[in-house]
Amino acid sequence: MPHVSSADGTSISYDRLSDRGPALVLVGGGLDDGTENLPLGEHLATRFGVVNYRRRGRGDSADNRPYAVEREIEDLAAVIDATGGRAHLFGASTGGALALEAAAAGLPVDRIAVHEVPYQVDDAMITAWQQYRLALDATLAAGDLDQALRLFMRLAGSSEHDITNAEAAPGWPALRALAPTLRYDAACLGDGPPPANRLTRVRRPVLLTTGITVDPQMAGLPVDFFGAAADAAAAALPDARRDTLKVEGHVADPAVLGPILETFLAG
């Protein structure tokens, strides 16, 4: 797999799924080792030069310290440079927050699409978010990766039954390996609400998509959680468009989301 070197020397790996058409970089969300966006990327590869990369600390990308959101923006800048110096962006979940931060920081991007960025807009959720960040920092400092995952799943609306089942599943060890990066995703979301002062700097068109309701495994969240977050972010963006998929799913079905992205990215 090809790699690029970020500004601080961190090696970031990526896959180039296609050389056709305008460059499109996919940005993964929480606990994604770089595979979650692959089905969507393969769907879009017939029309775009799709690049899917693994954020620092995930898969075979390195993880130089200390961490800062600015370092992740530099990582993305290095990936964009490898695509030819300019690209569209698609960000899933917290990857969408990172994509918007990168655009606000002035990276050479064209159109930006984000799906279900988990900004907090309700007072109770903002309080829960701030408590989660404190608990996550303490738990990771103590080296308790299992508890860090439980904290994340509870915040994301999973039931205790779902968490127990997840711990017994074969994929739990892989999630444990990714647990330290939960702190990185938390940093990308900051205090919780959409960062209006930075979103106003995003001068490119932005599409914000959400499912018609929350994923069943996130049943503990308010029904309109992602929709309310997207609406609040759209209100701060100078050139925002909103679309609601007629299906649920935090990881969107490429057959549903793909055509919407193709139309938007084609301008």
Residue type, 212: I
Tell which of 185, 211, 234 closes a domain. Answer: 185
| DSSP codes joined into one string, 9-32 | S-EEEEEE---SSSEEEEE--TT-
Asked whether residue 20 falls in the same domain as residue 108, the answer is: yes
Q: How far apart are CA 192 and CA 121, in angstroms?
A: 8
Q: Print the domain residue range for 127.
A: 123-185
Asked whether residue 208 falls in the same domain as residue 96, the answer is: yes
Asked whether residue 116 falls in the same domain as residue 180, the answer is: no
Q: How far apart are CA 89 and CA 84, in angstroms?
A: 14
- CATH code, 209: 3.40.50.1820
User: pLDDT tens across 214-237, in order?
Assistant: 999 899 999 999 999 999 999 999
Please list the ranges in the chain whose pLDDT falls under 50: none
Asked whether residue 67 falls in the same domain as residue 178, the answer is: no
How many C-beta atoms surround the C-beta of residue 12 within 10 A? Answer: 25
Residue positions counted in the chain: 267
Q: How far is CA 67 from CA 39, 74, 185, 256, in A?
A: 29, 12, 11, 35
Asked whether residue 73 falls in the same domain as residue 95, the answer is: yes
N-to-C CA span, the chain: 31
9 with 46: CB under 8 angstroms? no
Asked whether residue 96 falls in the same domain as residue 132, the answer is: no
Asked whether residue 235 falls in the same domain as residue 135, the answer is: no
Q: How far apart are CA 195 and CA 192, in angstroms?
A: 8
Asked whether residue 47 falls in the same domain as residue 116, the answer is: yes
Number of domains in the chain: 2
Q: How far apart are CA 163 and CA 127, in angstroms?
A: 22
Q: How far apart are CA 155 and CA 128, in angstroms?
A: 7
Q: How far apart are CA 125 and CA 225, in angstroms?
A: 9
Tell which of 138, 165, 185 closes a domain. Answer: 185
User: What pLDDT was estimated at residue 234?
Assistant: 98
Asked whether residue 13 falls in the same domain as residue 34, the answer is: yes
DSSP letter assigned to residue 36: T
User: pLDDT tens across 105-159, in order?
Assistant: 999 999 999 999 999 999 999 999 999 999 999 999 999 999 999 999 999 999 9
117 with 126: CB under 8 angstroms? no
Tell which of 139, 155, 185 closes a domain. Answer: 185
Asked whether residue 29 falls in the same domain as residue 106, the answer is: yes
